[in-house]
Amino acid sequence: MIFYVRSYTPFKTIADVKNSKEPAKCGSTGTVSTDFILARMLEDTLPPLKINTVLGYPGGSEIDIAVEKGEVICRGMTASPFFGREPFLSWQKKNFVRVLLYTGKKRDERLPDTPTLAEIFDKEKVPENSRRVAQVILAAESFGRPIIAGPGTNPEHLKMLRHAFDQSMKDPELLAETQKQKMDVDPESGENLEKLATQILQQPPEVLARVKKILSN
């Protein structure tokens, strides 16, 4: 995910948002949307950061229009559409918005000056349990759209399925089609996703309580 603000604002870094007397005003469709949950997670892990979330927009396109009108100045969203469709392509050419963070494991080459959330946490000396909260909240983005084998799948069968998936992700025709459609393809192995699932499920009670509070908002 990314978090962007309009470029005319004084917010040049997340630290600026954190130290601002006035909360940044972001648009969101509702309390179960990824942008709303990202905002609450940032508030939890980077206090005293505050974000004023304006709810009720029918969809992302309406939030984009609100940003252009100045009704709101920021939004959290998945990275793929930001690099693949309008109005974001034009916004980037005009430097209309500034991306303040990226939640991927490493910096995106298309946003070389945008720090990852992990880098921000390091700079802000965020404690381990707060990092765990962020890891759990953002786990869905890490998992993406996994293909899940049923319970009790034979290990050899599972191995074959994973091998087939890995090979398909290297297929030249498939990769050419994804580039044509401007789709981000960042496959992750089944083994790594299995390790991630184990990590997510093994959290201290304090972390789980904070995650539940964020999601219950």
pLDDT of res. 24? 97
Q: Does residue 53 carry a pLDDT above 90?
A: yes
Task: Specify the long-range contacts of residues 69-72, CB closer than 8 Å, at least 24 apart.
Answer: 70/6, 71/27, 72/25, 72/26, 72/27
pLDDT of res. 144? 82
> What is the per-residue DSSP string for 106-122?
S--TTSTTSPBHHHHHH
Strands, E assignment, 17-160: 24-27, 51-54, 74-77, 97-102
The one-character DSSP state at 13 is: S
Rounded CA-CA distance 33/20 in Å is 25
The one-character DSSP state at 10 is: S
**Per mean pLDDT, which range of 31-35, 38-42, 207-211 is the poorest?**
31-35
Q: Does residue 209 carry a pLDDT above 90?
A: yes
pLDDT of res. 163? 94
Arithmetic mean of pLDDT over the chain = 93
Q: Is the dihedral of CA 46, 49, 52, 58 positive or negative?
A: negative
Q: Does residue 182 carry a pLDDT above 90?
A: no
pLDDT of res. 47? 96
Q: Please, which pLDDT band fits residue 64 given cuts at 50, 70 and 90?
A: very high
Tens-digit pLDDT profile for residues 101-144: 999 989 999 999 999 999 999 999 999 999 999 999 999 888 88
Q: Does residue 158 carry a pLDDT above 90?
A: yes
Q: Does residue 179 carry a pLDDT above 90?
A: no
- Mean pLDDT along residues 189-201: 90
pLDDT of res. 97? 97
- Mean pLDDT along residues 188-217: 91
Q: What percent of the chain stands above pLDDT 70?
A: 100
Backbone dihedral angles phi then psi of residue 166, each to the nearest 5 degrees: -60, -40
The one-character DSSP state at 150 is: P
